Amino acid sequence: MRIVLILLASLLISCKKEMKLQSETEIPKTKTITSDSSAEKRFLLHLEKKWNDSVFKLPYELKENEISVVIGIGYGWLTYDELRHFVYSNDSLSKIFIEKIPKAYPKKNKEKYHLEKIEEKAELKRNSKYYTLNVSEINTFLKYEQDDFRLKSDKLVPPPCVSDNNTYSLYFIQNNKFKSYWYYAPKITLEKCANAAVNKKMLEEFIVLLENWNVDL
């Protein structure tokens, strides 16, 4: 009888040790999964519209979770427009593409399409201002819609107070979704045009974003 009791006690102790060992090995696994998931979410933009080539064709392929910030400049007095593409992996700049696109007019436009690609790390790091992407700042701006540039008002909206200036557009693209904004002569409008219908707070934030990528306004 004593031998049976000793065997039962040994078996019980062995089972407890095995359960404790399993519990200890499972805890780190759960923590790792949670950490990875939260890290990925930090680099996701709040985008809804589906991206397709009818907007314009990207001269590169975006990988999963990569972010492309595209700045378009429609020059009022030049025979070409420009698209500047800044591609980010996580929050670090990995590539820059600059497109020079001839306008459909004048008919005898001698400008040629040109694509420049920059991906050397030293060159990319030269401007630390936009080398690291501020996802939080962008997501805050993404709460706006294009129509929010204009405040709701019963007053008549006056025509632009400047002519022959540039139109600036801003595109955010990730995982086949995007959001975009545009404005004609934003800095001149903010500083010199008296227009009560302009959402100055949003326009200021739009200008700051453009200047983050060294756009000369």
DSSP designation for 146: G
Give me the amino acid identity at 37: S
pLDDT per position as a tens digit, 1-43: 555 444 445 544 554 555 544 544 443 443 333 334 554 667 8
**167 CB neighbour count, 10 Å cutoff:** 15
Closest CA to 57 of 70, 74, 47: 70
Q: What percent of the chain has pLDDT over 70?
A: 78
Prediction pTM value: 0.78
Angle among Cα 205, 183, 114 to the nearest 5 degrees reads 110
The C-alpha R_g of the chain, in whole angstroms, comes to 27
Q: Where are the domains positioned within the chain?
A: 1-41, 49-212
Closest CA to 60 of 92, 87, 29, 79: 87
- Split at pLDDT 50, 70, 90, the class of 107 is confident
Q: And the tokens for 14? A: 């062995």
| The CATH number fitting domain 49-212, selected from 1.10.10, 1.10.1760, 1.20.120, 3.30.1560 | 3.30.1560
Q: And the tokens for 135? A: 């996802």
CB 88 within 8 A of CB 67: yes
Q: How far apart are CA 200 and CA 181, in angstroms?
A: 15
3-state helix, strand, coil in the chain (%, to 5): 35, 25, 40
- Split at pLDDT 50, 70, 90, the class of 200 is very high
111 φ/ψ angles, rounded to the nearest 5 degrees: -65, 145
> What's residue 203's pLDDT?
96
Give me the sign of the Cα torsion angle 130, 127, 100, 159.
positive
CB 203 within 8 A of CB 217: no
SS3 7: helix
126 φ/ψ angles, rounded to the nearest 5 degrees: -55, -35
Q: How far apart are CA 206 and CA 187, in angstroms?
A: 10
SS3 176: coil
